[in-house]
Structure 1
Amino acid sequence: MKKYFLLASTLLLFAACQNNDENSQNSSTKEKTVETSQTNADSQQTSETISNDNQVNKSQNQTSDNIAMTELQAHYPRERFPMITSVDPTEEIAIAVGEEENTLTVSYYLVDKQIPLNDPLLSNATPIGQFQRILHNTTEEAKNDVAPNTDAGGQAIDLGHNIIGHQQSGAGSTYLNWQEGNWSMAIQANNLEGEDPQPLAKEIVEYLEKAFLPAPKDVGSGSFMINSSDYHSNVVAWQEGTTVYKISNENTMNSLKMAVSMNQ
């Protein structure tokens, strides 16, 4: 009888120890679960903070602390505009804006220091770039306004990245055009000046491998001239329904950068 009593006592003691171990393990598991949940919550909060910071930075980069750009966005809070730094990243830029019929026009100027939007000092100045938002009555009108270049005649030119351009000469100029998705691109070179359109075309193709233009609804076009100081000579245009956006800059690559900035 005494043996049975000792055996029962031993079993009860073993069971108690096992329960204590299980409770300890469960407590440890709960603590780890709480820690993991807290870590995940902290990680999510950090991600949200980073995302919010990125949005703030993006907004700050859009204005780039430019007085005129800040005023422009305040006047037209629902409009998209090129980033001010894309107009010319090395210079101070002033802005004038105007509306006539169905066209909103924003002109950009080089200045020595920042001045307010539509400052009278700009009245006799020549823009280095321009942005336009044009509203048409029909989609066909908008598509025709973009006027894409799609001539596939002439000599085939390898521009890299599996893009083939087509080059032909006439009336003292050489024309090189190519297609990139819904975008058609064309460069005009002056034969009398000995200009060659191929280096610029290859530079554009290389740039657009890493930078993305806005996606046009149907058509988009880029029309460029070599060594021109007139901002009308480099125009990027695209159509979204009945709306056409046009960007121009005296520098070919800056005209593209202005357009790319509207896709960011």
Structure 2
Amino acid sequence: MKKVILLGALLLTLTACGQNTPTTSTDENKSNAQTNTTTTTAKNSQTNGKSSENTQNTTKSSASEKKVDALAELKKENPKTLLPTDIPRDENRALNIAMDKKKDSLAILYYIMDTPLVLNDQSLNQQTPFARYKMEQFTSKDAAAKAVNYQFDGGGHKVELGHNITAYSQGAAGSTYLNWKEGNWSILLRSSNIEGQDGTALAKEVVNYLEEALLPAPKNLGQITIDMTKSGYESNQVVWQAGKTVYTVAHEDTIPALKMAVSMNK
């Protein structure tokens, strides 16, 4: 009788052990499954976060890489205005532009910089322009003619510049003035005797260039003023009249100023 009782107790104990073992294993598996799920979710979340961040960075990069072209903006703003198509400069740097547009005039300043900027960027106020363009409309042809400030003086001694062009030379206050005509254009060149500037050499260079290139034909008058004693764009100015309209282009260098005007020859 005791053997039966002991045998029954042993069976009950074995049964209980057999039931508890798989239960413990299942709980651990569930715990491991939850841990794996949490880890996977966290990794996916991090991946998605990085993906979103990369997308945002790509968008920012695309926006920052969007080409800034002040010259294209200028043309878009003034589709019917005669503008220079050639602004000689260092092509490896950015051309930036400031524009002042009014009812009867358009003034443009050109800047050469390392960074491209939008048209009329405020930071251009602290920069120095290398070239200029201006268009003015007047109420009469006479008023426009006065604005050209045509100057020609055939006095003084003759200086042959080549290509059958004769200039007239006069000296005053340490300067030498060479004056000559080509068609309706008058060209006045000033050089400094004190600084030893060779105005004749530059005059011949101008004549040689104009022998190959055609300036706009002034419907009335045209004036080219070259001042070797100055620096900046005001030292080389090309001004001409087209009826009631007067165009002016200027560049810090002489031949580039002429090239700007030539590019406007319709």
TM-score (norm 2): 0.71
Q: Is the CA contact (8 Å cut-off) linking 1:234 and 1:250 kept in structure 2?
A: yes
Q: Deviation per CA, 1:25-82, whole angstroms, max 9, x where unpaired? A: xxxxxxxxxxxxxxxxxxxxxxxxxxxxxxxxxxxxxxxx971011011111101111
Structure 1: gaps (5+ residues)? 1-64
- Number of the residue aligned with 2:155: 153
Cα distance between partner residues in 2 of 1:204 and 1:86: 17
Identity score, percent? 41
* Structure 1 residue 260, shift from structure 2 partner: 0.5
- Number of the residue aligned with 1:249: 251
Superposed, 1:81-96 pairs within 5 Å as 81-83=83-85, 85-90=86-91, 91-96=93-98
* Structure 1 residue 149, shift from structure 2 partner: 1.8
| 2:73 aligned residue (71, 75, 99) | 71
Cα distance between partner residues in 2 of 1:177 and 1:66: 43
* Structure 1 residue 89, shift from structure 2 partner: 4.7
RMSD of aligned residue pairs (Cα, Å):
1.6
Cα distance between partner residues in 2 of 1:71 and 1:235: 25
Cα distance between partner residues in 2 of 1:227 and 1:144: 25
Cα distance between partner residues in 2 of 1:229 and 1:170: 20
Distance 1:89 1:217, change over 3 A: farther
- Number of the residue aligned with 1:202: 204
Q: Is the CA contact (8 Å cut-off) linking 1:133 and 1:243 kept in structure 2?
A: yes
* Structure 1 residue 179, shift from structure 2 partner: 0.2
Cα distance between partner residues in 2 of 1:70 and 1:86: 13
Q: Is the CA contact (8 Å cut-off) linking 2:70 and 2:96 kept in structure 1?
A: yes
Q: Is the CA contact (8 Å cut-off) linking 1:87 and 1:129 kept in structure 2?
A: no
- Number of the residue aligned with 1:165: 167
Partner SS, residue 209 of structure 1:
helix
Distance 1:78 1:199, change over 3 A: same
User: Size of the alignment, in residue pairs?
Assistant: 199
Q: Deviation per CA, 1:7-31, whole angstroms, max 9, x where unpaired? A: xxxxxxxxxxxxxxxxxxxxxxxxx
Q: Report the AA paired with residue 261 of structure 1.
A: S
Structure 2: gaps (5+ residues)? 1-66
Q: Is the CA contact (8 Å cut-off) linking 1:229 and 1:250 kept in structure 2?
A: yes
* Structure 1 residue 100, shift from structure 2 partner: 4.4
Cα distance between partner residues in 2 of 1:233 and 1:66: 30
- Number of the residue aligned with 1:62: none
Extract structure 1 runs of 4+ deviating beyond 2 A: 89-92, 99-103
Q: Is the CA contact (8 Å cut-off) linking 1:221 and 1:236 kept in structure 2?
A: yes
Q: Is the CA contact (8 Å cut-off) linking 1:213 and 1:263 kept in structure 2?
A: yes
Q: Is the CA contact (8 Å cut-off) linking 2:145 and 2:220 kept in structure 1?
A: yes
Superposed, 1:182-201 pairs within 5 Å as 182-201=184-203
Cα distance between partner residues in 2 of 1:101 and 1:151: 36
- Number of the residue aligned with 1:29: none
Cα distance between partner residues in 1 of 2:208 and 2:183: 15
TM-score (norm 1): 0.72
Partner SS, residue 142 of structure 2:
helix
Partner SS, residue 86 of structure 1:
coil
Q: Deviation per CA, 1:219-242, whole angstroms, max 9, x where unpaired? A: 001000126322111110000001
Cα distance between partner residues in 1 of 2:102 and 2:232: 23
Q: Deviation per CA, 1:240-262, whole angstroms, max 9, x where unpaired? A: 00100001111111110100111
Distance 1:227 1:173, change over 3 A: closer
Superposed, 1:27-176 pairs within 5 Å as 67-83=69-85, 85-90=86-91, 91-100=93-102, 102-176=104-178
Distance 1:82 1:119, change over 3 A: same
* Structure 1 residue 180, shift from structure 2 partner: 0.1
Q: Is the CA contact (8 Å cut-off) linking 1:87 and 1:108 kept in structure 2?
A: no
